Amino acid sequence: MPNVIVHSLFTDFDINLFKGGKHYRLYEKLGSHLVEVDGVKGTYFAVWAPSAKTVSVVGNFNSWDVQEHQLNVRWDSSGIWEGFIPNIGKGEIYKYKIQSNNNDIWTEKADPFAKYCEHPPNTASIIWTSEHDWKDDAWMGYRKDKNGLDKPYSVYEVHLGSWKKNAENKFLTYKEFAIDLVDYVKEMGYTHVEFMPIMEYPYDPSWGYQLTGYFAPTSRFGSPEDFKMLVDTFHQNDIGVILDWVPSHFPEDAHGLGFFDGSNLYEHPDRRKGYHTDWKSLIFNYGRNEVRAFLISNAIFWLDQFHVDGLRVDAVASMLYLDYSREEGEWEPNIYGNNENLEAISFIRELNEAVYTNFDGVQTIAEESTAFSGVSKPVAHGGLGFGMKWMMGWMHDTLQFFQKEPIYRKHHQNDLTFSMTYAFTENFMLPFSHDEVVYGKQSLVYRMPGDEWQRFANLRLLFGYMFTHPGTNLMFMGGEFGQTAEWNFETSLDWHLLQYDGHKGIQDFVKDLNHLYKGSPALYEKQFSPEGFQWIDYSDHENSVLCYVRKGHDIKNDLIIACNFTPIPRENYRIGNPKKGKLKEVLNSDNAKYGGGGNVNNKIKSSTKPFHGHEKSIEITIPPLGIVILK
């Protein structure tokens, strides 16, 4: 029996789709697959390497001998090399040894479609099949309703390597996260968890944003089936799972996608379009059909095989613009003479169309920091087709305002109110992400001015304002209890801080905010519509007070919100009342149980005195550095 038997999983139709960039489930064909041929068990291998002269599978099973198992090139000019190797199975490690037509250059590469990888710093691929008996039928059945744009989205962003460590200061496993993390996210009331990249990556300081194993959950925390179990457990507890996904760039590591077959296969050959100087990484060639099929297949893979509920697409701005982080002369305009990357824009639209066509109840979310128009508009209406977009301008302006000493805030209230001039131009998610607590920016609580009491009061006010501003919410781990140190990917969060009242108060407040948010249709039913928001008054700069209404479909659910951005309590503060009936306070950030001073509104004085353009008014106490929510 020959060492490599001619065998293929590809049909002519598959090849035509692949060449046209329209094969969105390439993971079912390319890579390594356990199969049986003529009664013999073994593994089928297929790899795209059009510039190769020879391609060999090497591993421990053949002593890494390049002569032993050479694959066969297909006859259809697809550039795919394939073959069946008998009697090797699950758990074997392997790589592809590629001899290039390009001056006989040799490369040794991990499988781009590997489902499992060795634990870094080892870099080989592992033949694997991950069986899992899914128990999330209920979630998958009603996910479309749960994940709609008119439903609550309170996202807890997590870096698995540093959320919590075990007693030996080592990583928790996927199985341990399925207990500890799931319980915590559920108790805190978040609707979704978002994982910073869990696809295999070689270098811990990259935080996972430099991927080498696009189809493999990182082996740092366990096996692929262990990760499936973690997603399944979240679903069984009514919590959605969003993955950070990085189609914008990839590292130059020798075993990765770069210069794969001795040519610029996955990366754009023009360094002006193919290399990121900021990240020292390579940029995908979005104009190449097979590369588009690779990336879209990868997005589909996580939604299909791992039941993931959404993808947060990283660094979209860097994809959209040819001159992103480049000086004059370092980029070339497109055919229309401007700076838009037409191939990347076309790819993004195709990606979103493929995702939303193939899956009900999922969302794609763009991390996009520019004023590019229509990011969250459907492709059919000329947009990029994302479900949501991070509201980076709001995040920047809000943090800039909160960092100011309260005495100066009256001069800068426009930093807060400006967001309402563009809040409904996109479906915005409000992010306080990991990027805001690194590189000398300080933790959120330490970016707040004042003494310790004022810092904590400011942070509670910040979170209250965030949850009542139109849009969905994202909070990076640690913020919810006032982590004092900047985030460090190498160490656990400072969970010991919860023994102190201020930190426990922040955590309790965020927990109550989440439960109020999920139970208040006024905060999510029209979160992307101007009909869901109404100012009562934004003109009281002198007292640094803002008052507004959030609205749902039923006016009985409307909420009145008042914020005081100074440490001076506003007693008997009159605001216009657009509502009929009695009002009650449903949340107050100054409640003693949160570490506040206890300035709550047990009884609200109503008056027939017109105010703020309304026929009636009320008098309330707005506590120092506090937010009051009335229903």
367 catalytic per annotation? yes
Q: Is the pLDDT of residue 271 over 90?
A: yes
- Looking at 384, 415, 440, which one is the last position of a domain? 384
Asked whether residue 525 is assigned to any structural domain, the reply reads no
Asked whether residue 62 is assigned to any structural domain, the reply reads yes
pLDDT digits (tens, 9 = 90+) for 393-452: 999 999 999 999 999 999 999 999 999 999 999 999 999 999 999 998 999 999 999 999
Asked whether residue 332 is assigned to any structural domain, the reply reads yes
pLDDT digits (tens, 9 = 90+) for 466-515: 999 999 999 999 999 999 999 999 999 999 999 999 999 999 999 999 99
Out of 314, 343, 436, 525, pick the active-site residue: 314
Count the Cβ atoms, other than its own, within 10 Å of residue 151: 18
Asked whether residue 237 is assigned to any structural domain, the reply reads yes
Confidence of residue 204 (pLDDT cuts 50, 70, 90): very high
CATH classification of the domain holding 617: 2.60.40.1180
User: What mean pLDDT is predicted for residues 124-151?
Assistant: 96
Same structural domain, 84 and 176: no
Q: Residue 465: its pLDDT value, please?
A: 98
Same structural domain, 352 and 235: yes
- For 492, residues 6+ apart whose C-beta sits below 8 A from its C-beta are 162, 163, 164, 165, 169
Q: Among the residues of 194-323, which ranges form H helices?
A: 224-236, 271-274, 289-305, 316-320
Q: Is the pLDDT of residue 54 over 90?
A: yes
Average pLDDT score over the chain:
96
CATH classification of the domain holding 245: 3.20.20.80
Q: Residue 581: its pLDDT value, please?
A: 82
Question: Which DSSP string corresponds to 291-338?
Answer: HHHHHHHHHHHHHHHS---EEEETTHHHHHBTTTT--TTSS---TTSS
Out of 267, 367, 415, 480, pick the active-site residue: 367
User: Structural domain tally of the chain?
Assistant: 3
Same structural domain, 121 and 240: no
CATH classification of the domain holding 87: 2.60.40.10
- Looking at 358, 384, 410, which one is the last position of a domain? 384
Same structural domain, 256 and 355: yes
- Looking at 353, 384, 415, which one is the last position of a domain? 384
Sheet holding 616-622, edge to edge: 570-577, 616-622, 605-607
314 catalytic per annotation? yes
Same structural domain, 538 and 626: yes
Q: Residue 433: its pLDDT value, please?
A: 97
Same structural domain, 178 and 84: no
Alpha-carbon distance 310 to 361, whole Å? 9
Q: Give 244's strand partners.
A: 312
Q: Is the pLDDT of residue 169 over 90?
A: no
Q: Residue 8: its pLDDT value, please?
A: 97
Residue 569, domain extent: 530-630
- Measure CA 323 to chain center: 25
